[in-house]
């Protein structure tokens, strides 16, 4: 499932002023940085030091002016009150945003997750697509194969852009959870041959694609950045769609045999001012 159209903002590479002075941009050679930040609200302190809601909104607006994105949500349940998903090209700018929000009176950090956008290593290569067309193209000549490959290249370029530089729509709900592949003696994902892993992930992806239009899914890599291996962000308007996609995927072999999952947090997405109000900041 695609994560919307994207493109690296021109402003992403500027030096950033911080409270410690100017800091050079820290920009990945591929992909964007992603922060999932969760906070609980100390209502007594927020009431004693008013203005917290305004400061959160201003921090989000400043981040977005600098070519980054932020989705703000009021969390369901007591794991957190407020959630912010921030993403963009400059890790230094994301860290400055993180520090700015953490300093707002009435907010207490509850949890966080750090990752980078990526494309799947199991994506079909041009050589594989050419071979498929030659074998199953019903007698296509070389010119017809090239024409179909041109269309395939355009689709893959959009897929790559959507995964590495997503423009996320504001749906009604956001669901986030971390995950990792198992490394036990009986189910070690990392000892499987590549072709077997690719076959399994192909079936897993087909389940996800069957929810296209109902659930938007963004998988980001947290190798070297957090305790889990990937972060999964789901955006949807229908709460039942979130339940259905995850339930169905549990029966897929990739999930049932080879995956472990961390805590789930679901939030109601809204404009920043409305989200912070719902979270308890007035």
DSSP track, 11-64 = GGGS-EEETTEEE-----SSS-EEEEEEEEE-HHHHHHS--HHHHHHHHHHHHH
Active site residue 177: yes
Spatial contact of 89 and 12, defined as CB atoms under 8 Å apart: yes
43's CB contacts (< 8 A; 6+ apart) are: 106, 280
Integer Rg of the chain from CA: 21
Strands (E), 30-132: 33-41, 69-75, 82-88, 107-117
Of the candidates 177, 190, 211, 247, the residue annotated as catalytic is 177
Quick one: tokens of 167?
A: 């423009």
Residues acting as catalytic residues: 177
């Amino acid at each position: 499932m695609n994560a919307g159209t994207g493109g690296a903002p021109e402003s992403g590479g500027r030096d950033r002023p911080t409270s410690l002075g100017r800091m050079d941009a820290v920009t990945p050679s591929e992909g964007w940085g992603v922060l999932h930040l969760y906070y609980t609200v100390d209502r007594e302190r927020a009431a004693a030091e008013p203005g917290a809601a305004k400061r959160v909104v201003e921090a989000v607006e400043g981040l977005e002016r600098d070519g980054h994105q932020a989705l703000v949500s009021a969390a369901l349940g007591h794991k957190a009150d407020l959630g912010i998903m921030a993403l963009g090209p400059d890790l230094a700018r994301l860290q400055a945003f993180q520090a700015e929000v953490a300093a707002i009176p009435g907010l207490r950090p509850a949890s966080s997750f750090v990752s980078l956008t990526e494309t799947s290593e199991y994506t079909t290569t041009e050589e594989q697509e050419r071979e498929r067309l030659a074998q199953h193209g019903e007698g296509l000549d070389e010119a017809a194969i090239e024409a179909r490959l041109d269309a395939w290249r355009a689709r893959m370029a959009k897929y790559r852009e959507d995964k590495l530089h997503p423009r996320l729509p504001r749906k009604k709900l956001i669901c986030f959870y971390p995950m990792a592949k198992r490394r036990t003696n009986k189910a070690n994902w990392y000892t499987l041959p590549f072709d077997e892993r690719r076959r399994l992930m192909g079936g897993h992806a087909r389940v996800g694609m069957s929810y296209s239009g109902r659930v938007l899914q963004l998988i980001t890599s947290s190798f070297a950045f957090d305790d889990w291996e990937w972060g999964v962000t789901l955006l949807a308007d229908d709460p039942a769609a979130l339940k259905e996609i995850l339930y169905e995927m549990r029966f897929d072999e990739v999930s049932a045999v080879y995956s472990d999952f961390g805590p789930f947090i679901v939030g109601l997405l809204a404009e920043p001012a409305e989200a912070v109000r719902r979270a308890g900041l007035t």
